[in-house]
Each structure stands twice: as structure tokens, then as C-alpha cells.
Structure 1
Amino acid sequence: MRRAQILLANALSLFRRAGAGIYCGAALLLAGCTAGYHRQAADKEVYGLIRHAEGRVLKRTNEFNIDTRYSGRNPQGILPAELIADRLETNQWTLSVEQALALAIQNSREYQAQKEALYLASLALSREKYKYQPRLLASLGATATRNRDGSKDGEMHAGGGASVSQLLASGGTLGLSLANDFLRYYTGDPRRSAVSSLSVNLVQPLLQGFGRNNSAVESLTQAERNLAYAVRDYSHYQNQFALGIVNDYFQLLAQKDAVRNNYASYLSKVDSTKRLEERAQDREARNGVDQARQSELAAKNSYVNSVANYQTSLDQFKIKLGLPVGQKLLLADQELQELTANGLVPVALDGVEAFKLATQKHLPTLNEIDRFEDSKRRLRIAADRFKPNLTLVADAQLDSQGATDWTRFNADQVRASAGLELDLPLDRKPQRFNYREALIAFERELRSLTLTFDNLRSSIERGLRTLDQRRENFFIQRRALELARQRVESTTLLQQAGRAEVRDVLEAQDALIASQNALTTALVQYQQSRLQLMLDIGALLADKPKFWLQDHLAGFLPAARPQPAPVAVGDQPVLPPEQYFSQ
């Protein structure tokens, strides 16, 4: 009730200061504020709520806004012809990985949609908070009349009113209103009279719907929690989006490397065919030339296909970056060289430890845990509806008549009433339906949460297995590349000495190209698997410089932890299948 007393005192003070000024301000209120002002005011409040939620949920804040290159323009001036012209631009971009990330964050349609989702969640909370702010309304009216017979007697009415209402955290509603009616006779009789009234009313549920069980209070609570979920979702998406850009970038570099290897293979096949043609003198040698020419055509076909695939992937990458497809995009080859020099970053982690960390750090999982708690709260509210609906209703009114100062009232003339309204729980079948639905919803959330945990554990275990698999693939391909080079050298010498067939040389050359491409692919795939695992356990921080090269477990794992077995490096012995089946 202390809040109600403060609200009443503030409202009375406001009404006393208003007086005739309420009429004078009417013209300004009719004009209203510009749409630009309201947009800026909305942004200021929404961004403030987001910063507060980030500090509470993530323990950090980031610069955030949803403005785009079109935000400051008049929507009517943005024409399709301009957008089509943008698509026809032929600018050239040379981007490193970090530059591609920055460009994607600025231009990506998908990224912008996620930012707007966070903004809308904050805007929804702002709307719910608005319901708990004092809401002041004012109205004015004036009429003048004269007699129909043309006599001079006439009258003028001027009236106005103001009200303020407030939702209370207890679930109640407090309202105050002021009304004025000023009457004056003009010409013949200068009489005048004024009537003013001030009324206060309070409606407060005492049993059902009291406090946190009130539907309006619950709406505010859920809006606050929804903003926390949106903050987590957006933060997780930022890391996920950055990882996707990095993966696509290095996948394109791997495709570029394959294109170059395929082109080198084609040139090598062309040279081989020319040498064989120069040496061909009999039918047996001519057969070798045909084999070489067929291999040359196959290499040309592989090269043409690899170029087309690269260009298609590059166009898709442009769209993901938010660039028009017609613009030229060049990627920095040194990024792949730096990744190769960095090597395979080890991940010393077992499945159980990773799962425990993920349940504490993986943001989508934390959201699912909190949504499970939401279902408990909704179940409590549904059970509260079985209580009797007992409501306190109180009101008071002060009137002033005559030629008096209409902003002053005689407290002795107050009229007040208070009472209780009881809705007996004779028919609670609708509440029974709702409660049973809430119970089922709770059970569903419970199953959903356990499925989330199981899927998370499965994802982590699969990620660790994939990481081991791709680590071994890398070392196998590295060894295979060494052997392929030796094989090309030896078969070429043997063929020149007449001790090997042309087919042997061609097969060795094909094996070399395949090994070169496979080694690059294995390196890129290992990085993808490692970073995806870091994302799944909540360790990935995409705001670190060159985060794709960093060891994200450093500083993430608890200091006091048993040291896992060292990560195996190099070729590993092949185990029999029964050993895997028994694990």
C-alpha cells in the first residue's frame, strides 16, 4: 500500500500544478511528437534493456544496434530500380578471413534477422514494463450554444479531465481521475458555475491471482525471461555464424587448391602425351599414347568441373556475405598457408568432462533448462486458479461545486466505500482443463529437457570421434602424399627405362593429385570438427583475434582437473573390429 500512497500523492501534486495549464498544453499535445522522436526513444529504451540483460546473463555487454544502410532513409524513396542497380555493380573485393567476417556481420541478411529478433524480444519486454508505469490520460472539450429564436441569451461549456492508472506488483490496479465542467452564461446573465470531482479507486485480488500468480505479473516475468533467452540465442548465433563463415572460407580455399592441383595434373598429362607421341613408332607404343590422351581428357574434365564447382561455391559465399553476386571476390591464399603452419591444435578432453562443461556453458542448453523452470511456474499459476476469487474493491470521491477554486477540495466532503467481492468456486471445470493441460505441458518439457541432454551428449561424443577420425585421416593422407610423390618419381624413371607401362605412370600421377587434394581437405575438416566441438561445449569465443587458430580450451577448463591421456600424433596401429564392438 505504500506504493499506492506515493502514487496518490504524486497524482494530486500533478493535478494541482496542472490547473488551467492542462488547457494551454492541449494544442501541443494535439500536434504530437514526430515519428523520428518516438523511434529514437524506443531504441534508447530497448538498447538499455539489452545491455542490462547481457550484463546479467553473459556478464559482459557488447555494442548493439539494428541500423542498416537504409535505416536513415525515407522508405518511400527506396525503389526497386535502385536495388536492381546495386545487384549490377562490378566492384572487386580482396578479403582475408577477418575482413570476410566483418563484411558478413555488416551485410548478412540472416545476421540482421537475428539482431532484429533480439530487438523485438527487448521491445516486447518494454511493452510489458509500460503496463506497470503510471499512465496519464487527459481530455478537453468546449461547446458554445445560442438560442434558436435569436435572443441574446446563451451559454458556454468547457470541460476537461485527467486520469492516472497504475498496475501494482501485487496484481491490483490503482486509478485516479479528475473531471471539470465549467459553465458560463454570456450576454444577458453573467452567471457561472463550476463542478469538479476527484476520484480514487483500488481493485486488489486477495486470493486467486495475488502477486506473482497474477496473469499480468506473469506476463512481465515471462517477457523478462524471454529477453534473457534471446540474449543467449543471439550470443550463440554470433559464434555459430562466425564459425560458418570461417568454415566456408577455408572450404573455398581447399577448392582453390584442388583447382590448381587439377590444372597442374592436366598440364602434366598434356606433356606426357606429347612425349609419348614423339616416341611412338609401333602399334604397342601407339596404345600407350591413346591411354595417355584418354587420361589427359579425364584430367581436363576434372579441371573444368572443379572450376565450375568453385565458382558456384563462391557465388553462394557472396550471398552469405550479403554481396551482390556480380561483384568480384578474391580470397587470400596465405590464410591456408597459415592454417597449415599452425598444424592440428590438440583437444585433450574426454566425453564425460565435455558434457558436464556443456551443461554449464552451452547457451542453448541453458535456455532449455530455464524453459523447464518456466513450465513449473505455469503449473503453479494454473493450480492457483482453483482458489476462490476474493477481491478488495475500494473507491473515494471528492466533489467541488460553485464559484470556487476548482483545484482545491474540502476533504470533509469525501465519499468513500470499500468492500469485498467473493466468487465462490462452484464451477472450476475450466480451471481443471487448464491445470491438466499445464501438467501435460510440464511432462513434455521434462521429456524435452532430457532429450536435449541426450542429444548434447551424443553430439559431443560424435564430435570427439569425428575429431579422432579426421586427425588420423590427416596423418594417413600426409603419409599417402609422401608415397605418391615417390611413386611418381620411380614409375617415371622406370617408364623411361622401358620397365614400366604408361598406365603405371598415369595411375601414379592420379594418385598424387588425389593425395594432394585429400591432405588439404583433411586439414580443413579437422579444423571444422575441432571448432564445432568447441561450439557444442560452449568454449568457442569468436570475438578472439584469429579464433580459428586458437586453443579455446586454454582458460576454459577448470584449473584443478585430472589430466587426460595425451593426444596421439602420427600413424596409429589398426585395431581389430571386435575391440571396438566391445567398448
Structure 2
Amino acid sequence: MYMIPKGCIAVGLFAGLVVSLPGCNTAPLYRKEADQAAYRITRNSSQEALGRAESYSIERPSDTLRRRLLLDQQLVYADPASLGTTDLPPAKHWPDPEYLTETAPAPVDDMPSSDTPLQLTLLDTLQIAARNNRAYQTRKEQVYQAALDLDLERDFFRFTWAGLAESLLQTDLEEEVVINDKGDTDRQTVTEMQNTGVLRLTKRLENGMTLTGLIGLDLVNLLTQDRTSSRGLYADASVSIPLLRGSGRFVVTEPLTQAERNVVYAIYQFERYKRVFAVDIASEYLSVLQQLDQWKNAEDNYERLLISTRGIRRKAEAGLLPGIQVDQARQNELRARNRWIIAQEGYKRRLDEFKVLLGLPTDAAIELDNTAVEKLSEALAHMMAPPSRPAGEEEALPADAPATIIPPDPEHAGPLEMDEIRALILALENRLDLRVARGRVDDTQRKVAVAADALRADLTLLGSGSIGERRLLGSSASPDARMRFNEGRYSALVGLDLPLERTAERNLYRNSLIVMEQSIRDYQELEDQIKLEIRDHLRRLLESRESVRIQAEAVRLAQRRVESTDLFLQAGRAQVRDLLEAQEALISAQNALTAALVQYRVAEWALQRDLGVLEVDETGLWKEYVPEGTPNDHP
């Protein structure tokens, strides 16, 4: 019976171990490892950058609002991909079945009703947009990807293992072999097998030193003739130490440092994006309601004109008014109907666009809280007081009396209409995009130092040592190798690359200085742009506040004008044209007042956004900035 040599068993076990290591982790395990590494990095980096730990999870919810609307409201869709990843059939050779089923828990506060339109408040839309908007998810994934890049850079300085196992079978059909002790030879078929297993360990240090260790095992078996075997056992170690160029820690770790900074930048940029995104959602929410208010105003105006035209026609039939005034009223009635239809369809169009912004189907039944504009009017009621007039202005003044222009009254200013210097200081302290721009300046300075290091001579110390012997095909008759340190082979080498040709490095160094200057100019431009934005927001707040007061007075005057003109018309002291003009002025003033209210509120949000003081949490909900001394009832 043929006995398997012990060396063969050892190599088989070693080779099996090396081969099995890569196969132990499946695609789901690798994905989970990547998630753990990325989330650990984002939590630590956000704690460092923001003072609070956030993971920036990219896990899909188990059931999205878009999917529920499509199914519950029985909306049409083209393919299961419209419902989401969990509804996709697995592709051929799909490596990760768990990915299609593993999801994050779905929040229960946005569950729609299948038989009634989904009612959305402003806070609802902020949360829904954060979970369903596609661009929002992409920006969050960029933070995750930056964390993965950092993990890869850190891996460069970790212990790196590599394993290799191979088996080689070789047959020589006519090899001359010795057949007896006398030295006689014969041509025979010779078959040999070589099994090799190698385990390598590499460690790179932050000072540029690289350490490499290797241990290998060979087994050569003769499968014909006398079936001899021989075992090879060997180990190698080497070290590489840069002494001049590339020897500084700042040079070696620059990719790692940049990757760490990139994660912080990604977090800053996403936090800035969340604020911009939240203000965009809220502004669009009010814009849709503003369009709805215009529709209602157009409808009220149309109804008034229908009633007025009917009365004018009766008076014309009684001979109290000429027929031309009936035609005037009829023309205004048709114009009002056209305006009503345009406002109605404009609202529907704006609402559909808002659904797309939220990441929801455009044909879903959704309604916004139409009391938001009324609540806004109540909150800003103090601004709608009649404009101030000089003492005695209520009475008629002589025609030659001098006109008095009253500047805007700061008495009714909102809490965010702060001092300009204070606002600029807040913005420069809190704007995250400005921090990113400043960090870019530091990045370019480091790159200048790295580029300058590349101009130096390259002096490297290399050392290596090896013990033991290998066994290759044809050495099955050799004795087993042994590892003896006193029989090892050791060497040392010093290599010097003089800086005689550094054209590429020279140009790279000069370009790095140019890039640094560009980054400084970019920072300066952004700082000036921020100041411009803040000053402009403060002006817009003042303009909007005064516009609210003026348009509120215009609505009061227009209402009084409509009422008085109608009475005069009934008394025969006014023309139909006067009533039609009064009604036209009323609807214009009503629309202008709503626009002014919305504009002021949006201006407040925009100022908080660009001051960097608007806080938005992971769910999309915000916490507005309240200056000290602001009453609690301020919106």
C-alpha cells in the first residue's frame, strides 16, 4: 500500500488553509465589513467636525413612501424598478441575496391612507424629502464613499497579508533515469508534482520604512519509479528605509491626511447641503400654497364679476345703463375666467413639480396644509399695521405743503433683522463651506512641501535576509531542507539617485505653488460672496417687511374702494369701468400681499441658511435660529 509522506500532508493542509481564506468571506460579509468601517469613520469624523456623532446611514427603508403611494393609490408604473430595489428580481449570478431583503426600519409617521389624499404639513415635507429625494440620497452616499476612501488609505499602513498556493504537475515521456546501482540508465516516463504554499506579511510605517516577511513551504513528489519526495522550507525578510526623498512622515502620510480631510469636507458639504435643501423644500412648499392662494383669489374675483355682470345687465335692460358698459363687464368676466383657469392649472403644475422634488410620483393624491399662509399672516400681523404718517397727515394738507418721505420704521422689524456686523461675524464663524475652502488652502500648502521633497536626492537603504531552501521539480531525491540561521544569506544595499534630472518634479513643485495661490483666491472670493449674500438678505428682509405693510394697506384700500364704488354705481354716481378697475386692483393687491408674506418668510429662512445657524437633523427636521431676546411666539 502506498503511504502518503508526512510532508505532503503538511503542504496539503497549508495549501488548503491558504486557498480557503479568501473563500471564507462572502459578498454580504464584505458589504457588512465595509459598512462597519465607513460608519465608524463617519461617526468619529462628525464628532470631531460637528461636535455630534452621526453615521450618515445609506440603508434603504423597508418600505418607502413612494412605493406605498404607488401601491395603495393604485398608480401606474412601468417596471418593478419604480417600486424600489426590494422589488427587483435578482439578476443572474447575483452575489448578495441578502442585499435585496435587508433594509432599515421604515418610519411610521408618513404612512399614507389609501382612500384619501395624503395630507402634508411643512414638517412632514421636510422629513419626506430627506428620505425620498434622490439628490439628497446621492449627497449622503458621497460622505459614505469618502469614508471608504479613507479606510483604503488606512489599509496602506496596516499589516497586509498575502497567501499563495499552487500545484504543478509535470510529465516527461522519455526522461533518462538511473535504474540500478551500477549506473545503468533507461528512458522512462517520469511524472512529478510540486506543491507550494507561501504566506507573506507586509507592514508600511509612517516614516516610509517598509518591512516584508515571507515563509514558504515546497513539496516535490515523484509519482513514478520509487516515489521519492523532498520538502523545501524557507523564509525571507526585507526592509526598505528611505533616508532623503520620501523619508518625512508628512510626505508618506499625505494621502492618508488628505483622505481624512476629505471625509471632514464631505461632512461639511453635506451639512451645508442639508440646510440649502431644507430651505429649498420649505420655500417651494410656500410657493405652492401661494399659487393656491392666487387660485382662490382668482375664483373669488370671478364670482364677484359674475354677480356684478348680472346686475349690470339687468340695469341695462331697464335702460339705466348703456349697453357698452355691459360689454365692458362681460369682457372683464371673460378675462377673470381665463385668469381663474390659468391659476388653477398653474397650481396643479406647481404641485406636481413639488412632488418630483420630494421624490414622489406626480400622479399621487397629495394635499398641502392650506392653512400655512393664514398662520403666516397671523404670525406677521404686527407688520401689517398701516404705514406711519406724519402728524396731521390724516387731515387734508395744502397743495403747496412740503412732502415728507418717511424712512422704513425699524419698530416692526423681525428678530432676524440684526445688525450687519453681527450678521457677518455669525456667517464667517459658522459657514461650513468657508471652512472647507480654508481647509483647501492648508491642503495646497502641504502639497507644496511634498512637491519640494521630491526635488531631493533619493537615498534608500535596503536590507534582506533568507534562510532555508526551496525544492523545485527535479529535486524530489534531495534531502528535506532545514532552516538554519547560521546558514542564512544576508545582504545590505545603499542606493543613491542624484537629483540630476528633476524636470517633472520641478514643474510639479511650481504648479503646486500656483494651485496654492488659486486656493487662496478661491477662499477670498467665497468670503466676499458670503458677505454679499448676508448684506443682500438683510436688505431683502427690510424690503419684504415694508412690502408686507404696504400691500396690507393696499388690500384695505382696494376692499374699501370696491365697496364704495359698488354703492356709487348703484346710486348712478360711478361708471362700470370704475367698479371693474376696483375689483382688478383688489385681486392684484391680494396676490401681492401673499407674495410679500411668503417672500419675507423665505428671506428669514435664507438668512439663517447663509448665516450657518439653521440646524437640520438626520431626519430632515430643522431647528430655526432664535436670537437672544426674541419672544417665544415668533414663528
RMSD over aligned CA atoms reads 2.9
2:164 corresponds, among 123, 139, 154, to 139
In structure 1, the partner of 2:143 is 118
In structure 2, the partner of 1:51 is 43
Question: What CA distance in whole angstroms lies between the structure 2 residues aligned with 1:71 and 1:230?
Answer: 28
Distance 1:282 1:83, change over 3 A: farther
Alignment pair present for 1:552 and 2:577: no
Distance 1:438 1:398, change over 3 A: same
Question: What CA distance in whole angstroms lies between the structure 2 residues aligned with 1:43 and 1:84?
Answer: 26
Question: What CA distance in whole angstroms lies between the structure 2 residues aligned with 1:295 and 1:83?
Answer: 50
In structure 2, the partner of 1:9 is none
Deviation at 1:362, TM superposition (A): 0.5
Deviation at 1:71, TM superposition (A): 11
Distance 1:226 1:342, change over 3 A: same
Which SS does the other structure have where 2:614 is aligned? coil
Map 1:286-297; keep pairs closer than 5 Å. Answer: 286-297=323-334
Q: Which amino acid aligns with 2:196?
A: G
Distance 1:538 1:305, change over 3 A: same
1:530 corresponds, among 591, 604, 609, to 604
1:508-550 Cα offsets, whole Å, 9 max, x none, are 11111111111111111101111111111111113499978x7
Which SS does the other structure have where 2:363 is aligned? coil
Q: Does structure 1 conserve the Cα–Cα contact (< 8 Å) formed by 2:18 and 2:197? A: no
1:78-101 Cα offsets, whole Å, 9 max, x none, are x96334689xx9984221112222
In structure 1, the partner of 2:578 is 504
Map 1:309-328; keep pairs closer than 5 Å. Answer: 309-328=346-365
In structure 2, the partner of 1:391 is 460
In structure 2, the partner of 1:455 is 529
Alignment pair present for 1:258 and 2:291: no
Deviation at 1:302, TM superposition (A): 1.1
1:81 corresponds, among 72, 79, 82, to 79
In structure 2, the partner of 1:211 is 248
Deviation at 1:446, TM superposition (A): 1.4
Which SS does the other structure have where 1:346 is aligned? coil
Moved more, 367-376 or 60-69: 60-69
Question: What CA distance in whole angstroms lies between the structure 2 residues aligned with 1:424 and 1:85?
Answer: 63
Question: What CA distance in whole angstroms lies between the structure 1 residues aligned with 2:79 and 2:520?
Answer: 52
TM-score, normalised to structure 1's length? 0.84
Q: Does structure 1 conserve the Cα–Cα contact (< 8 Å) formed by 2:39 and 2:55? A: no
Alignment pair present for 1:225 and 2:261: yes
Question: What CA distance in whole angstroms lies between the structure 2 residues aligned with 1:71 and 1:518?
Answer: 42
TM-score, normalised to structure 2's length? 0.77
Q: Which amino acid aligns with 2:438?
A: I
Question: What CA distance in whole angstroms lies between the structure 1 residues aligned with 2:530 and 2:435?
Answer: 12
Which SS does the other structure have where 1:419 is aligned? strand
Deviation at 1:356, TM superposition (A): 2.0
Alignment pair present for 1:349 and 2:349: no
2:369 corresponds, among 324, 332, 341, to 332
Map 1:173-188; keep pairs closer than 5 Å. Answer: 173-185=210-222, 188=225
In structure 2, the partner of 1:28 is 20
1:308 corresponds, among 345, 350, 355, to 345
1:100-135 Cα offsets, whole Å, 9 max, x none, are 222212211111111122122112112212222211
1:17-40 Cα offsets, whole Å, 9 max, x none, are x98743232452464532222112
Deviation at 1:69, TM superposition (A): 5.9
Q: Which amino acid aligns with 1:39?
A: R
Distance 1:488 1:543, change over 3 A: farther
Question: What CA distance in whole angstroms lies between the structure 1 residues aligned with 2:444 and 2:500?
Answer: 27
Distance 1:136 1:551, change over 3 A: closer
Q: Count the aligned residue pairs.
A: 529
In structure 2, the partner of 1:369 is 438
Question: What CA distance in whole angstroms lies between the structure 2 residues aligned with 1:422 and 1:383?
Answer: 18
Moved more, 516-525 or 349-358: 349-358
In structure 2, the partner of 1:15 is none
In structure 2, the partner of 1:68 is 60
Question: What CA distance in whole angstroms lies between the structure 2 residues aligned with 1:290 and 1:284?
Answer: 11
Q: Which amino acid aligns with 1:296?
A: E
Question: What CA distance in whole angstroms lies between the structure 1 residues aligned with 2:157 and 2:123?
Answer: 45
Moved more, 313-322 or 496-505: 496-505
Map 1:6-21; keep pairs closer than 5 Å. Answer: 21=13
Q: Does structure 2 conserve the Cα–Cα contact (< 8 Å) formed by 1:481 and 1:516? A: yes
Which SS does the other structure have where 2:627 is aligned? coil
Alignment pair present for 1:421 and 2:490: no
Q: Which amino acid aligns with 2:625?
A: H
Question: What CA distance in whole angstroms lies between the structure 2 residues aligned with 1:523 and 1:373?
Answer: 44
Question: What CA distance in whole angstroms lies between the structure 1 residues aligned with 2:520 and 2:553?
Answer: 50
In structure 2, the partner of 1:103 is 128
Deviation at 1:459, TM superposition (A): 0.8
Distance 1:131 1:351, change over 3 A: same
1:416-448 Cα offsets, whole Å, 9 max, x none, are 222321111112222221111111111111111
Question: What CA distance in whole angstroms lies between the structure 2 residues aligned with 1:468 and 1:263?
Answer: 32
In structure 2, the partner of 1:432 is 506
Distance 1:467 1:212, change over 3 A: farther
Larger radius of gyration: 2
Deviation at 1:391, TM superposition (A): 1.2
Q: More helix by proportion, 1 or 2?
A: 1
Map 1:148-159; keep pairs closer than 5 Å. Answer: 148=173, 154-159=191-196
Which SS does the other structure have where 2:597 is aligned? helix
Moved more, 396-405 or 42-51: 396-405
Percent identity between matched residues is 32
Deviation at 1:259, TM superposition (A): 0.5
Q: Does structure 2 conserve the Cα–Cα contact (< 8 Å) formed by 1:153 and 1:189? A: no
Question: What CA distance in whole angstroms lies between the structure 2 residues aligned with 1:145 and 1:430?
Answer: 49
Deviation at 1:70, TM superposition (A): 9.1
Q: Which amino acid aligns with 1:95?
A: L
Q: Does structure 2 conserve the Cα–Cα contact (< 8 Å) formed by 1:162 and 1:177? A: yes
Deviation at 1:350, TM superposition (A): 2.2
Distance 1:85 1:137, change over 3 A: closer
